[in-house]
Structure 1
Amino acid sequence: MAADASRVHRKARTGAPAGFFACEAAGLRWLRVPGGARVVDVLDVADDHLDLVRLTPVRPDRAAARAFGAALARTHDAGAAAFGVPPDGWSGDGFFGPLHDPLPMRAGAYASWGAFLADCRIAPVAAALRSAGRTDAADDAALALLADRLRAGTWDDDEPPARLHGDLWSGNVVWTAQGATLIDPAAHGGHRETDLAMLALFGLPHLDEVLGGYASVHPLPRGWRHRTSLHQLYPLAVHALLFGGGYVAQTLAVAHRWARA
């Protein structure tokens, strides 16, 4: 039986990159874990569209934010086989960025977060920024040094790979009467602090309550707030690549700071 059209939200794009919608659907299904954050339901997927259950937004409150934080920790705790792996049901690289112009998001299988971040995020986006004329020689050197330090394990810890949404800015958290619901993932195995850093990047209502709920399920390690900008570097760099402007200066300031840290 066909779904009620009033309950369907269709994401569509003619000429979307091959597998774009299938990758997103796989990510949404992978993120659905018992006790974890709510995830929008997938109704149908094809080469040129993805049909989802239509969500009705409501104003978030502190109780809903705290519940979301606790649920997100359980989603992360569901884990992944390695840093950089794509969601179950999808193989190969993923996608990051807006529907009209998504960038390839390199996949891999790494034992350490730093090596994954260097090889699959920092090095590719640094090359793209250089090709677009967004960086100079000093910027390129800082990004290369940062990648080397990441590969050396400078900021690695004992956290196992987490099951990440991967693009968890505030616009991809829809507050509904049933609770906060995740949409539009770039799902992969990564470091849990990356999702939390994304929530902070463009602001999320009641973020302190979200973090409190999160810590009640999975306490965060010492110094995690200090590392927030390191985890924000890749999405900032993508914004610099796509939109230029102030994002370029912000990205390069973060890159230079962490290269010297």
Structure 2
Amino acid sequence: MGGLLGMIPFSASPVSGGEICDAYRVGLGLGVDNNGGPFLTYFAKTRDGAPADFFPAEAAGLELLRSTGAVAVPEVLAVEPDVLVLRWVDTAEPSDAEAERLGRDLAALHETAAPHYGTAGPLYLGPVPLTTPEPPVDDPAGWPAFHVEHRLLPLLRMAVDGGGIGPGDARDVERLCERIEEVAGAPQRPAVIHGDLWAGNILWTGDRPHLIDPAAQGGHPEADLAFLELSGCPRWDRVIGAYEEVRPVPGRRERAPLHALHHVLIHAALFGGAYGAESGETARCALRAAG
């Protein structure tokens, strides 16, 4: 490494947390870092063999979330086909106050209208590309069919083809897809959602939580809530209590299995094992809740 860059002190250390990408804390010896130390500190993530639009899609998702003014996200500093660089965010233990802030922020995010379900550009959930029909669906009454055709069934086919789900559990997922109109509840206009909001995609800072790794899109807000609860969000009671003070969601508990299924299915498709049986049971729970 020559020239000026070769004269800059540089450090990189791996950080944990992702299942798909390799991630690093990177320090450059210019100026001071976020804590007043001797480095500028960044977060960088890479993925071998990533599609050319993979990291640009994530950067676009972060920008979509940021543009709403409702939630905090790390600043995108650079994006290339093989790397995404963000400003480093220091973390702290979550508090009741910060959990309540997350609830209010998510309620504000979900009040932000999207032009249609899905996105205008590429979109990934983990390593799996998600599709948006052409023309896109903007009618709230069209969400159940959109969700079946462009979210549930593609992942179910992946899980079946890869041996990640058994025939009985796959059939119960299909039964839910056939009856989704009975389960979906009242029509919900397309809203901006994070799209992959499990507990590990929240950075607790001691002040305001930051959201990372989005599959941001026009979608159904209850998807964010269902996956956050399913994944064991810290201080969940505080989060959902503050959320529903701002944005009540009658019937949310009964519909939670429907909205969690997409995220369980992708784990069945990618990892198999117990996730296939969990997918079937999640579908059965959704059907039982519908009566």
Larger Rg: 2
Alignment match, 1:192: 221
In structure 2, how many angstroms separate the alpha carbons of the residues matched to 1:77 and 1:59?
28
- Equivalenced residues, count: 249
Secondary structure of 2:110's aligned partner: helix
Cα distance change on mapping 1:12 and 1:116 into 2, 3 Å: same
Q: Which runs of 4+ in 1 moved over 4 A?
A: none
Tell whether the 8 Å contact from 1:143 to 1:259 is kept in structure 2 after alignment: no
% of aligned pairs identical?
A: 38
Answer yes or no: is 1:242 the counterpart of 2:267: no
Unaligned runs of 5+ in 1: none
Deviation at 1:121, TM superposition (A): 1.0
The residue type equivalent to 1:21 in the other structure is F
Cα distance change on mapping 1:12 and 1:124 into 2, 3 Å: same
Q: How does 1:144-183 map to 2 (within 5 A)?
A: 144-150=174-180, 152=181, 154-183=183-212
Deviation at 1:224, TM superposition (A): 0.6
In structure 2, how many angstroms separate the alpha carbons of the residues matched to 1:237 and 1:158?
23
Deviation at 1:204, TM superposition (A): 1.0
TM-score of the superposition, structure 1-length normalised? Answer: 0.88
Answer yes or no: is 1:219 the counterpart of 2:244: no
In structure 2, how many angstroms separate the alpha carbons of the residues matched to 1:9 and 1:154?
41
In structure 2, how many angstroms separate the alpha carbons of the residues matched to 1:52 and 1:107?
27
Cα distance change on mapping 1:114 and 1:4 into 2, 3 Å: same
Alignment match, 1:64: 98
Alignment match, 2:36: none
Q: How does 1:128-143 map to 2 (within 5 A)?
A: 128-143=158-173
Unaligned runs of 5+ in 2: 6-25, 29-39
In structure 2, how many angstroms separate the alpha carbons of the residues matched to 1:7 and 1:217?
36
Alignment match, 2:132: 107
The residue type equivalent to 1:133 in the other structure is G
Secondary structure of 1:32's aligned partner: helix
The residue type equivalent to 2:220 in the other structure is H
Deviation at 1:65, TM superposition (A): 0.7
Tell whether the 8 Å contact from 1:32 to 1:75 is kept in structure 2 after alignment: no
Deviation at 1:138, TM superposition (A): 3.7
- Over the aligned positions, Cα root-mean-square deviation in angstroms equals 2.1
